[in-house]
Structure 1
Amino acid sequence: MKPHSMKKHGMKKHGMDNRSRGVLAHVVLLVFAATALAPLLLVLLNSFKSNAGVTGSPFALPKSLSPSNFTTAWEYGAFGSGFLNSVLLTGTTVVVVLLCSSLAGYVLAGQRIRMWPAVMVYLTMAMTVPIQLFIFPLYAGVAALGLLDNVFVVGVILAAINMPFATFLMRTFFLNVPKELEEAARIDGANVLQLIHRVLLPVVRPGLITVGVIVGLSAWNDFLISSTFLHDPSEQTVTLGFLSMNGTFSTQLGAMMAGALILILPVLGVFIALQRYVVDGMAGGAVKG
């Protein structure tokens, strides 16, 4: 066989191998996507069925698209006030975390304090200690101050719980910012606040969005802290409202499925809208640690 023919044959074989790997990768991704979406599709199908329809044929299509299950779940789960409380709690958590973790991440990334190694060790330890150890003293302190049944206070508590992880992540994003950018801003006369607000934060915006989404999802789905500090039904979140249906509607699976769908859809919509920024942020934050 001539050298030219051998080279052409090798290139053709290499191209076929790459195409085969690409097809295999897509098949694996499709399997993972189907595994992730199948439970959500099952919840959607059964949210329009009666209890007998759910137990008898959970994988069958619904006979009608009546919204009665959604109406029942919305009314008895108190989702109207629950959504407002969840938005306030989640918003408080995200704002406090982004404000504090971005400033702390900037300081730790630049090693601008002498005790920064000790601070990093403290944050590492804080992420490993379970919050259950502090529930009782924390509850006693909040009760003594008369701050129970306050969604903003619970938001601050959740922000404190998520702060070590968020600070670590924001520090990683600030480490990826070129030093020349900060030096140029200082030469132009920018002070620290102007440097952070106008120069650095726009650069680490994918990191801010990533931290915001992760912390926001955690706060929206929180049960332990919310159920401990929010006893008044008018102050409970949508997650607590859904879980309160378990006693009354544990045998009405269609209403429970509808309630679960109402709980999931807002979170799913936000994640789909911001997924590009989250992926970019996680990829950018993984470059340097």
Structure 2
Amino acid sequence: MSAAVPPHASARRVTAGHAPGGRAAGAGPRRVPAGRWLVGVVLAGLAVFAIGPIVLFFFNALKTNGQYAADSLGLPKSWEWGNFVTAWNQANMGAGLWNSVVIVLGTVALTCVVACCAAYALARLVVHGASVFMTYLLVSSALPAQMFLVPLFYMWAKAGLYDSRLGLVLIYCGLFSPFATLLLRSFMMGLPPQIEEAARVDGAGELRVFARIVLPNVLPGILTVALTTGLSAYNEFLFAVTMLQSESKMPLSTTFFTFQQGFTQNFTLISAAGFIMIAPMLVLFLLLQRRFIDGLASSGMGGM
């Protein structure tokens, strides 16, 4: 004669033998799908591809010429930190860094002013032919900059802007403003227009609405534009080497190029000078990368 088992007792036995996720309590850890392993391997390979040359550049800068000739891919046997001091002095990188700072700050300031005003006009004001202007911005962003090199050279020579840092800043502003305008316009289109209408009802003019309401709300976009424009102006070489002739006005990119041409056999000093050149922007990007990525994602242009 079998004893009757209460229903709740059998339920306890069933739940006691299984984990809440449906797996047995004594089962091992869940296996990671093969797709995730593949994604991890691909991301690790891309990280090595991006960081590897910088690390190798740094190690080569700390070697002697003999060590570099014997093993250009290995670790330095003796750490020659004096290579950075020698490269800094012989390449005159202090003057080049100062010129780069002036050019980058001027380009960022002018580009942000132009892009903010143009983006606000396209996003909020009634502008006749706005679609044509948007098409112009898209086309001008896609055209290669080398197309404008020869005409700009003759125009800048006649206007007295050749061999001038101001002339180079104006060129950079023209190059980077289309993308900056499109990026800021996408930010402004995402703002609710009710806050602007409320300010207008309270008696605020268009300029006050733009300065007090719109600009503080698109500050992440302005920081993104400033970072992308600063990086592009700092790394630009073609217009800098064409439009500037005096050594006292050359930015760091052309200063490094001149130093490289004169020290073609001293690869350790060239590596040291190159690492000095990339270090400021590398540190700046690492410090602001979260704002940069969040700004692009918030604008809806991350896939462009």
TM-score, shorter chain, exceeding 0.5: yes
Aligned pair in 2 of structure 1 residues 185, 68: CA closer, same or farther (>3 Å)?
same
- Which position in structure 2 is the counterpart of 1:166? 180
Moved more, 231-240 or 67-76: 67-76
Q: Which amino acid is the alignment partner of residue 47 of structure 1?
A: A
Once the 2 structures are TM-superposed, how far is the Cα of residue 129 of structure 1 from its aligned partner? 2.5
- Alpha-carbon displacement from aligned partner over 1:135-159 (angstroms, at most 9, x marks no partner): 2221112111222221122011111
**Structure 1 runs (4+) greater than 3 angstroms displaced:** 2-8, 10-13, 15-31
- Which position in structure 2 is the counterpart of 1:236? 250
Q: Which amino acid is the alignment partner of residue 113 of structure 2?
A: L
Identity percentage of aligned residues: 32
Asked if 1:66 is matched to 2:83, the reply is no
Match of 1:87 among 89, 93, 101: 101
- Which position in structure 2 is the counterpart of 1:104? 118
- Which position in structure 1 is the counterpart of 2:7? none
- Alpha-carbon displacement from aligned partner over 1:236-267 (angstroms, at most 9, x marks no partner): 11110101122221111100110110000000
Match of 1:183 among 193, 197, 206: 197
- Correspondence 1:229-268 to 2 at 5 A: 229-268=243-282
Asked if 1:118 is matched to 2:126, the reply is no
Aligned pair in 2 of structure 1 residues 9, 21: CA closer, same or farther (>3 Å)?
farther
In the alignment, the residues of structure 2 paired with residue 11 and residue 213 of structure 1 have an alpha-carbon distance, to the nearest angstrom, of 52
Q: How many residues align?
A: 288
* TM-score where L is the length of structure 1: 0.90
Once the 2 structures are TM-superposed, how far is the Cα of residue 189 of structure 1 from its aligned partner? 2.4
- Correspondence 1:1-289 to 2 at 5 A: 8-9=21-22, 16=30, 25-110=39-124, 112-286=126-300
Aligned pair in 2 of structure 1 residues 22, 129: CA closer, same or farther (>3 Å)?
closer
Computing the radius of gyration from Cα coordinates, the structure with the larger value is: 2
Q: What SS is found at the alignment partner of 2:122? A: helix
In the alignment, the residues of structure 2 paired with residue 237 and residue 95 of structure 1 have an alpha-carbon distance, to the nearest angstrom, of 18
Q: Which amino acid is the alignment partner of residue 251 of structure 1?
A: Q
Moved more, 2-11 or 211-220: 2-11
Q: What SS is found at the alignment partner of 1:148? A: coil
* TM-score where L is the length of structure 2: 0.86
In the alignment, the residues of structure 2 paired with residue 201 and residue 11 of structure 1 have an alpha-carbon distance, to the nearest angstrom, of 57
Q: What SS is found at the alignment partner of 2:22? A: helix
Q: Which amino acid is the alignment partner of residue 72 of structure 1?
A: T
Structure 2: tracts of 5 or more residues without a match: 1-10
CA contact (8 A) 2:84 2:273 kept: yes
Once the 2 structures are TM-superposed, how far is the Cα of residue 11 of structure 1 from its aligned partner? 11
Q: CA RMSD in A?
A: 2.8
In the alignment, the residues of structure 2 paired with residue 59 and residue 92 of structure 1 have an alpha-carbon distance, to the nearest angstrom, of 39
CA contact (8 A) 1:221 1:239 kept: yes
Larger helix proportion of the pair? 1
In the alignment, the residues of structure 2 paired with residue 25 and residue 78 of structure 1 have an alpha-carbon distance, to the nearest angstrom, of 45
Aligned pair in 2 of structure 1 residues 75, 11: CA closer, same or farther (>3 Å)?
farther
Q: Which amino acid is the alignment partner of residue 165 of structure 1?
A: F
In the alignment, the residues of structure 2 paired with residue 109 and residue 211 of structure 1 have an alpha-carbon distance, to the nearest angstrom, of 17
CA contact (8 A) 1:88 1:152 kept: no
Q: What SS is found at the alignment partner of 1:104? A: helix
In the alignment, the residues of structure 2 paired with residue 136 and residue 157 of structure 1 have an alpha-carbon distance, to the nearest angstrom, of 13
Q: What SS is found at the alignment partner of 1:9? A: coil
- Alpha-carbon displacement from aligned partner over 1:163-216 (angstroms, at most 9, x marks no partner): 111111111111111112222222232222221222111111111111111111
